[in-house]
A and B are shown apart, each in its own frame.
Chain A
C-alpha cells in the first residue's frame, strides 16, 4: 500500500505542524490511558458507573444471544438424547429406582432435621432470590473471568450478592448498572470462596486459578483428607454465601489440598438467581465498613470456624456497605 501523501510534510509549516500535533495528541492519549489504568488498578470500582452504562446498552443484545445459545444447546442435547434413547432409558430407570429410595431417606432426614431445629429453637427462613436473570455475556477477551448478568440495581441487585444456578454457585456480583451487573466468576484468579467438604467439616478455601479449575487450599494442614470425587460446598464463613451450596468436585490431589472442577458451569446455564447476602452485618464487620444497624452482633464469625449458622442471625435491615 502506498504511503499517504499528506504524511510527507516537506517544507510546509502547516503540514509539519499538523503532523506534530498528531504525535502530541497520541502521546497525550497514551499518557491519559496510563493515568486511568493506574487509577483503576488502585481503585477498581472507580469506573463502575461508566461501565455499568455501557453494559446496560449491550445487555439487551445479550438477552437475545443468550436465548439462542440455550436453544442451540437444547437442540444438540435433544438429538444426542434421541440417538442413545434405549440405553439411556434403561440407565434412567435404574437411577429412578435409586432416587426413590434416596428421596424416602431424605424425607426422613428432613423430618428429623425439623424436629431437632424445633428443639434448638432455630428458624431458617427459606432464601428468596432477589432476582432471576440470564447470563448475557462475559469478558471473553480478557484474562479476567467476569460474566454480565441481565439484572441490575433496578431489580434490587447489589454488589456482594451471591449468584447461583440450579446446580450450584456461579459467583458474586461485583458492580451493578441499572439493568445489568458484573459477576466475578469462581474461576477468576481473584475469587476466593470459603468451602467445606459436603459430608464432614474439612474446611478449605476455593481459589480460582484462571484456567477454569479451582485450587482447594486446606485451612488445617497435615494429612490431606481429600479424595478425588469429594464435593465441596460453601461453608457460610465470611457471611457472603449461605452454607451448603455446591461449589466444586475434587479432581486431583495436591500437597496442600486439591485441584477441583466446577459444579455449575456458567456457559452451560441459562437462568441464574441472585440471592441476598447471607449475613449482611457480618460482611459489614469483616470488610471494615461502618455498620448501619446499631444492634448488629459483636462477634463476627471467624473464617476457620465451622459453618456459621448460629453465629448471630443478622437483622434483615442491616445493609452491607459496598466493598
Chain B
C-alpha cells in the first residue's frame, strides 16, 4: 500500500514543505487586510435605493473571531472599526463602538461556552449581525421610518445567510495565512 501512495506523497506537497515555515508577514497581516478589504468592497457598489450590501467587514470580523478564537486581540474592533467608519457612510465612531462591543460580547460568550460547534457559532453570529444591523439603522443619523425598515431587512437576512460562506472563506484564508512559504536554510 505504501508503495502505491509513497512516491506521489513524497513527490509533491510534502517534500516542498519540509524545510519551509510560515511567512511572519502573512501570519500577522492576512486577518487585518482581509477585514479591511471587505470593508472597502461594498463602496464600489452604487446603491441609490436601499442599503444593498451586507456589512462585509463586520461579517468577516465575526468569522475570524469565531473560526480562529484567540487570533484577533480583544481591542481589534477599535482600529478595524475606525477604518470601516471612514468608508461606510455611517457617522464616524459607530463601527468603533459596535465592533468593540461585539468583540467583548463574543469574549463573554466564549468564557461561558468554551466548546462550540459550527451551529452555535452561526447562531452567535446571526444574533450579533441582526443586532448590528438594527444599531446601524438607529445610529445612521437619519430618522428611521417604516419604509426604511421595509427596504433594509433583506440586508440583515443576507448577512445572516452569508456568514457560513464567509466562515469557510476565512478557513481558506487561514490556510493561506499559515502556508509554508518561507524557506529555512
Q: Which residues of A contact B (CB under 8 A)?
A: 1-4, 6-7, 22-23, 25-30, 32-41, 44, 46-47, 50-51, 54-55, 58, 61-62, 65-66, 69, 135-148, 185, 187-190, 209-213, 262, 265-267
| B151 on interface, CB distance cutoff 8 Å | yes
| B9 on interface, CB distance cutoff 8 Å | no
* Count of residues in B whose CB is under 8 Å from the partner chain: 69
B residues near A265, Cβ cutoff 8 Å: 48
Does A50 lie within 8 Å of B141, measured CB to CB?
no
B residues near A4, Cβ cutoff 8 Å: 69-70
The distance in angstroms between the C-alpha atoms of A61 and B45, with both chains bound, is 11
Given contacts A143-B137, A143-B142, A209-B147, contact A33 B46 (CB under 8 A): no
The distance in angstroms between the C-alpha atoms of A213 and B101, with both chains bound, is 34
The distance in angstroms between the C-alpha atoms of A22 and B145, with both chains bound, is 38
Does A213 lie within 8 Å of B141, measured CB to CB?
no
Q: Which of B18-26, B27-35, B85-93, B176-184 contacts A (4 or more CB under 8 A)?
A: B85-93
| B78 on interface, CB distance cutoff 8 Å | yes
Q: Kindly provide the distance from the CB of A68 to the nearest chain B CB, expressed in whole angstroms.
A: 10
The distance in angstroms between the C-alpha atoms of A66 and B46, with both chains bound, is 9
Which residue in A30, A135, A188, A267 is a CB contact (below 8 Å) of B142?
A: A188
| B62 on interface, CB distance cutoff 8 Å | no
Does B103 lie within 8 Å of A33, measured CB to CB?
no
Does A144 lie within 8 Å of B90, measured CB to CB?
yes
Given contacts A138-B45, A267-B46, contact A33 B104 (CB under 8 A): no
Given contacts A142-B89, A143-B142, A144-B142, contact A211 B147 (CB under 8 A): yes
Closest A residue to B87 by beta carbon equals A54
Does A212 lie within 8 Å of B88, measured CB to CB?
no
Q: Kindly provide the distance from the CB of B55 to the nearest chain A CB, expressed in whole angstroms.
A: 5
The distance in angstroms between the C-alpha atoms of A251 and B163, with both chains bound, is 38
Does A142 lie within 8 Å of B67, measured CB to CB?
no
Q: Kindly provide the distance from the CB of B117 to the nearest chain A CB, expressed in whole angstroms.
A: 8
Does B48 lie within 8 Å of A141, measured CB to CB?
no
Does B148 lie within 8 Å of A210, measured CB to CB?
yes
The distance in angstroms between the C-alpha atoms of A144 and B44, with both chains bound, is 15
Which 4 residue pairs of A and B lie closest in terms of their CB atoms, listed nearest first?
A139-B89, A4-B70, A36-B93, A33-B97
Does A210 lie within 8 Å of B145, measured CB to CB?
yes
Closest B residue to A186 by beta carbon equals B48
Does B137 lie within 8 Å of A33, measured CB to CB?
no
Does A62 lie within 8 Å of B44, measured CB to CB?
yes
Which residue in A3, A28, A33, A189 is a CB contact (below 8 Å) of B148?
A: A189
Q: Which residues of B contact A (CB under 8 A)?
A: 40, 42-56, 66-70, 73-75, 77-78, 81, 83, 85-101, 103-104, 107, 110-111, 114-116, 121, 136-137, 139-145, 147-148, 150-152, 155
Does B43 lie within 8 Å of A23, measured CB to CB?
no
Which residue in A51, A137, A146, A187 is a CB contact (below 8 Å) of B49?
A: A187
Closest B residue to A25 by beta carbon equals B75
A residues near B137, Cβ cutoff 8 Å: 143
Q: Kindly provide the distance from the CB of B124 to the nearest chain A CB, expressed in whole angstroms.
A: 12
A residues near B147, Cβ cutoff 8 Å: 209-211, 213
Given contacts A37-B96, A147-B48, A211-B147, 11 further A-B contacts (CB under 8 A): A1-B69, A3-B115, A26-B100, A37-B93, A38-B93, A39-B92, A41-B91, A44-B91, A51-B87, A141-B54, A213-B147
Closest A residue to B96 by beta carbon equals A33
A residues near B68, Cβ cutoff 8 Å: 1
Given contacts A143-B137, A147-B48, A266-B48, contact A211 B92 (CB under 8 A): no
Does A23 lie within 8 Å of B45, measured CB to CB?
no
Does A7 lie within 8 Å of B91, measured CB to CB?
no
Does A40 lie within 8 Å of B93, measured CB to CB?
yes
Does B52 lie within 8 Å of A140, measured CB to CB?
yes
The distance in angstroms between the C-alpha atoms of A55 and B75, with both chains bound, is 25
Does A33 lie within 8 Å of B48, measured CB to CB?
no
Does A33 lie within 8 Å of B115, measured CB to CB?
no
- The listed residue with most A CB atoms (<10 A of its CB), out of B40, B74, B107, B145, is B74
A residues near B51, Cβ cutoff 8 Å: 140-143
Q: List 20 A-B contacts (CB under 8 A).
A: A1-B67, A2-B115, A3-B69, A23-B74, A26-B100, A29-B77, A33-B81, A34-B97, A37-B97, A41-B91, A46-B92, A55-B87, A137-B43, A140-B45, A142-B136, A143-B51, A147-B48, A209-B147, A212-B50, A265-B48
